Amino acid sequence: MAQAASIVVNDRESTPVAHTYAPRSITPDLATFVETGTVPIGERKLTLSSRKSGSNYRVRVKLVSPVLVNETINGVSVPTVPRVSYADVTFTFADTSTLQERKNLVGMFANALAASQTVVDGTVTGLEGIW
């Protein structure tokens, strides 16, 4: 079992920014990590969950990234969230799968999301169709 610790991931800015997600809530089935913001509604969250269903293990990774803006109403500045982006990935492994098989699948999936993978990147980030 992995011990909960901060998770650091870089974004794709021209000068990448490291985002640190600190443990917030840990249960045996669900771990929530947050990048603390100025107000709770603007916090980015990363959740990890794992469960066994029949002969399969299901591991889910979810990233929630709200955009926080300050809206001024009658001279009072109020933080609001006009939109939120989500990433939600579920890995399913047979209980007979090997550690190396699982590592390979995770590695290939991570590499499929690289900026250099123009078909995947153009579809996901550029919102382009596939032709």
The whole-number average pLDDT for the span 94-99 is: 96
In angstroms and rounded to an integer, the radius of gyration of the C-alpha atoms of the chain is 18
69 and 55 together in one domain: yes
Q: Which band of pLDDT confidence, cut at 50, 70 and 90, is reported for residue 108?
A: very high
- Smallest CA-to-CA distance from 28 within 8, 58, 48, 44 is with 48
What per-residue confidence (pLDDT) applies to 112? Answer: 95
The whole-number average pLDDT for the span 93-103 is: 97
* For residue 65, pLDDT beyond 90: yes
> What burial class does residue 33 get, using C-beta atoms within 10 Å of its C-beta: 0-12 exposed, 13-18 middle, 19+ buried?
buried
Q: Which band of pLDDT confidence, cut at 50, 70 and 90, is reported for residue 1?
A: low
* Inside any domain, residue 30: yes
- Smallest CA-to-CA distance from 59 within 31, 78, 40 is with 31
The DSSP output letter for 114 is S
d(CA 9, CA 21): 8
CATH number at residue 71: 3.30.380.10
Number of domains in the chain: 2
| Mean pLDDT, rounded, of the chain | 94
81 and 129 together in one domain: no
* Inside any domain, residue 41: yes
What's the whole-model pTM score? 0.87
Between residues 53 and 38, the one the model is more confident about: 53
What per-residue confidence (pLDDT) applies to 2? Answer: 74
* Inside any domain, residue 1: no
Amino acid at 20: T
pLDDT digits over 6-36, tens only?
999 999 999 999 999 999 999 988 999 999 9
Q: Say how many C-beta atoms besides its own lie within 10 A of residue 21's C-beta.
A: 21
20 and 67 together in one domain: yes
47 and 75 together in one domain: yes
Supply the range of the domain harboring residue 85.
7-95
59 and 13 together in one domain: yes
